[in-house]
Structures are given as C-alpha cells and as structure tokens.
C-alpha cells in the first residue's frame, strides 16, 4: 500500500494497528485537563499511523462517556471518565 501524499510504502495494517495501539496506550496513562487535549493526542496517533482523524471518522455508536468510530480499515473505541479533580482518564484502542 502506498501513501496517497508521498507515494511511500506504508507498513502493513497489522503493523500500523500495533503501533497506533502502542501510542494510544501511552495516552491512556496520562490524566487530561480537557477532553479536547486527549482527542488531539488521539488524532495525532491515528494520523502518524495512516488512519483517519476522529473528525473525519463516521461515528457509529456511543454513549455519554464512550465513542466508537470508523477510522479507515479499523474501528476506534474511546471511553472517558471525569474524576473529582475535573481531569479526565481516557482509554482508547483501534481494532
């Protein structure tokens, strides 16, 4: 598979999925002041591994504290919890 912009060869889907989930795991180990900050970090992880941004994704399901969105060939799952301090815990993975 080739990158649409630079025509470089992309890693396999399996490799890209593993890499994006490694990035998302690190994001999940931090506490976030706002959901927007966390979502920007998630978008960065998606883009750096050749997946669609959340803003370009088609949201298929979700609740007050979760989101499931198609980000290309895979699905992004995000859940969050606002702690008493006002900061957020965010868990995300692609499968």
Mean pLDDT by 10 residues, the chain (95 residues): 66 95 98 94 94 68 77 92 94 96
Would you state the structure tokens that stand for residue 63, as one six-digit string?
């609740």
Give the pLDDT confidence score for residue 62 in this predicted structure: 53
What values do phi and psi take at 58, rounded to 5? Answer: -100, 115
Nearest alpha-carbon partner for 71 in 92, 48, 40, 50: 50
Burial of 26 (0-12, 13-18, 19+ CB in 10 A): exposed
- Verdict on whether the full-model pTM lies above 0.75: yes
pLDDT of residue 67: 87
Q: What is the pLDDT of residue 4?
A: 64
Q: Using the Cα atoms of residue 24, residue 54, residue 61 and residue 3 in order, give the sign of their dihedral.
A: negative
């Amino acid at each position: 598979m080739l990158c649409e912009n630079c025509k470089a060869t992309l890693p396999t889907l399996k490799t890209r999925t593993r890499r994006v989930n490694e990035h998302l795991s690190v994001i999940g180990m931090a506490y976030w002041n706002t959901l927007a900050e966390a979502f920007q970090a998630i978008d960065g992880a998606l883009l750096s591994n050749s997946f669609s941004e959340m803003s370009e994704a088609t949201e298929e399901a979700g609740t007050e504290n979760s989101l499931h969105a198609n980000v290309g060939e895979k699905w992004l799952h995000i859940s969050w919890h606002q702690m008493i301090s006002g900061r957020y815990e965010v868990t995300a993975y692609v499968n």
